[in-house]
Amino acid sequence: MLASPKTEIQSTNLGEVAKFAAEEATEKHNRRVLVEDSGLFIRVLNGFPGPFSSYVHDTIGVERLLRLMSRETRREAYFQASLALASPRDSSQEFSGKVHGTISHESVGTQGFGFDPIFIPRGTRKTFAQGGTQFKDKYSHRAIAFRKLALWYIRTKI
């Protein structure tokens, strides 16, 4: 882990955000760097909060986001994680993972962080915050992205 601030460009594309930060850190520190960025994309809100999820969580929070959706019946959403791997010698690589689901009508559960208490992965009845670590790992957008990274690494580095 680098003790260096990450530059986060303003973009609606998580891959671009992660790639810029990874390439900048690689150039600054002359070493391979992996950066992850993630967000919650709500269909009826045109993808909001998307790449601004952390800021939205810190400023309006879970309850106010639920209020924005209070009259909405279509509650489809997805969590996305984008990884960017940059190296001083190789071109950057990007890996993305998505988990589709819905936004609950209330905040439920105490585990996890961010918008986990209101996101229900497709095919389940629990929010990420209700399900615990094993549940979240099973459906995790980050786990999907990291599996893609691992498969790429195995194919290209062995």
How many structural domains comprise the chain? Answer: 1
116 among known catalytic residues? no
CATH number of the domain bearing residue 81: 3.90.950.10
Q: Mean per-residue pLDDT for 108-121?
A: 93
Residue 1, pLDDT above cutoff 70:
no
Residue 154, pLDDT above cutoff 80:
yes
Structural domain for 53, as ranges:
14-157
- Angle between the 141-157 and 128-139 helix axes, to the nearest 10 degrees? 20
Residue 59: the pLDDT is: 97
Task: Name, in order, each residue with C-beta under 8 angstroms of 150's C-beta and a sequence gap of 6 or more.
Answer: none
Task: Name, in order, each residue with C-beta under 8 angstroms of 92's C-beta and a sequence gap of 6 or more.
Answer: 19, 22, 23, 84, 85, 86
